[in-house]
Amino acid sequence: MNQEILKELISDHANHPRNQCRLEITSCQCHGKNPLCGDEVTLSVLLSGDESMIEKIAFEGRGCPISQASASLLTEVCLGLSVDEAKSLAQYLRSSITGNPTVSLSPSLTDSWNEIEALSTIQVNPARVKCVTLAWHTLLHALEQRGTTKTIC
């Protein structure tokens, strides 16, 4: 994707976030906060009966446009993924943004990666890395702590 399309995608999600609401019934929920800039995100996830698939996912949050766009993109891309696929995608994004891609991406997640590739372009601005990764870091904690509500910083 060219840079202009990537910027438009981030801008669209920042200005018109998807799945920005509270889920009444959840399997796991986690609140993440970046104390350096004040970005906050709470992810709510409803898993399938056997807890293998993400059936619903939503976020509430406030912060810079990049953090909110990242959370919005996360909810769109992770809906319908297996828990393992969502974890893998989150780990891959985090490693790509930090410029240290130590995690490989499963070929089955290529389409999902193409949808969030815009976020990896933020690596050129180190101050924004935490803004992009906050929602994804929060997702990993939520999925690890199924059945609980947790706050991370």
pLDDT tens readout for residues 37-68: 899 999 999 999 999 999 999 999 999 998 99
Summarised one tens digit per residue, pLDDT across range 115-134 is 666 666 655 567 788 888 99
Reduced to 3 states, what is the DSSP secondary structure of residue 81? coil
Reduce the DSSP state of residue 34 to 3 states and report it: coil
pLDDT of the residue at 17: 92
52 φ, ψ (degrees, to nearest 5): -100, -20
CA distance 37 to 17: 20
C-alpha span between 32 and 99 (Å, rounded): 22
CATH number of the 3-148 domain:
3.90.1010.10
Q: Which pLDDT belongs to residue 68?
A: 94
List pLDDT tens digits, range 11-35.
888 899 999 999 999 999 999 999 8
Is the pLDDT at 71 greater than 90? The verdict is yes
Domains of the chain, by residue range, sit at 3-148
pLDDT beyond 70 at 113: no
Pairing of strands 149-152, 54-62: unpaired
Q: How confident is the model at residue 150 (pLDDT cuts 50, 70, 90)?
A: low
Task: Please tell me the predicted confidence (pLDDT) of residue 118.
Answer: 64
